[in-house]
Structure 1
Amino acid sequence: MSSYEQDFYRWTQEQANLLRQGRLSAIDVDHLIEELETLGARERRELTYRLKVLLAHLLKWRYQPKGRSRSWRATIDEQRLSLDDLLDDNPSLRSTLDEQLAKAHRLGRLLAIKETDLDEDIFPGSCPFALADVLAKDRYPGE
């Protein structure tokens, strides 16, 4: 059994040292590829998660105006800032924004339904917001 299965942290340190030493033939290539792909997928999932939370609050903001609060506004602002940071750190994710927006809307819609007393038919099945409006600072639908 390799150190990858026995002690993942130790395996990562070993692989880093092998790379630093230029001992490429000793690298555990298959597991290293797997881990690199996992890291990329994690960033994409983070993008979807942030968009989901943002969209849920934008939906609530638009369709439940009596429930608007500083807390909702702060969550909208926080998610937008976090998305800016994520996209600055991972610019290639920008090319996936339209696809991720559609995925995140489905999840955000479910979250908005869960967090409100509104009938689920109130919330549209497809995203009612343009991507630019979703990401724009100081834009709140219905204001």
Structure 2
Amino acid sequence: MTDLTTLYQTDYAAWAQRNAELLRERRFDELDIEHLLEELSDMSKSDRRELHSRLLVLLAHLLKWEFQYRSLSERWREFKGDSWRSTIVEQREQLADLLRQSPGLKSAVDGAIADAYPVAVRLAHKETRLPKTIFPEICPYSRDQVFDDDFYPESE
């Protein structure tokens, strides 16, 4: 077991700092390649999970906005969808920030929307108790609409 492997198991911050120093000094043969690859892979997975999770919440709220907003606002005059709007705004901001910090994720957005949408439908169905069949099978929102701060779907 190398010193870096031991350091990885006992002091992650020191391990990361030491590997950074070795990279700067171009001492590649001394790097803890196995753990560096593992960490880089995990970082990518974590970012992709966050992208999926935030899109799921955003899409579910866009669906609720489109398919339930009118019935609730007719029932309760004071209902304006403020909490839904807040969630939509927050998820869009968080997604924009994630894509600024990890620009490589931009190429994964379309696939992530397609993957998150069926789960968003299930979530919207459970939260609204509207029939699943009311929601489109394929995401009705374009990538631009999903990220557009001014886009709120028309209520049915």
TM-score (norm. length: structure 1)? 0.86
Gaps of 5+ in 1: none
Q: 1:26 aligns with which of 27, 30, 34?
A: 30
TM-fit CA distance, 1:20? 4.5
TM-fit CA distance, 1:134? 1.1
1:58 partnered with 2:62: yes
1:76 partnered with 2:80: no
Look up the match of 1:141.
Answer: 153
CA distance in 2 between partners of 1:138 and 1:45 (Å): 26
Aligned with 1:64: secondary structure? helix
CA distance in 1 between partners of 2:103 and 2:22 (Å): 29
Aligned with 2:145: secondary structure? helix
CA distance in 2 between partners of 1:91 and 1:10 (Å): 27
Gaps of 5+ in 2: 73-79
TM-score (norm. length: structure 2)? 0.80
- Identical aligned residues as a percent: 45
The CA RMSD measured in Å over matched residues stands at 2.0
1:1-143 equivalences under 5 Å are: 2-3=5-6, 4-65=8-69, 66-67=71-72, 69-142=81-154
Q: Which has the larger radius of gyration?
A: 2
Query: How many residues in Structure 1 have an aligned counterpart in Structure 2?
Result: 143
Amino acid of the structure 1 residue aligned with 2:138: S
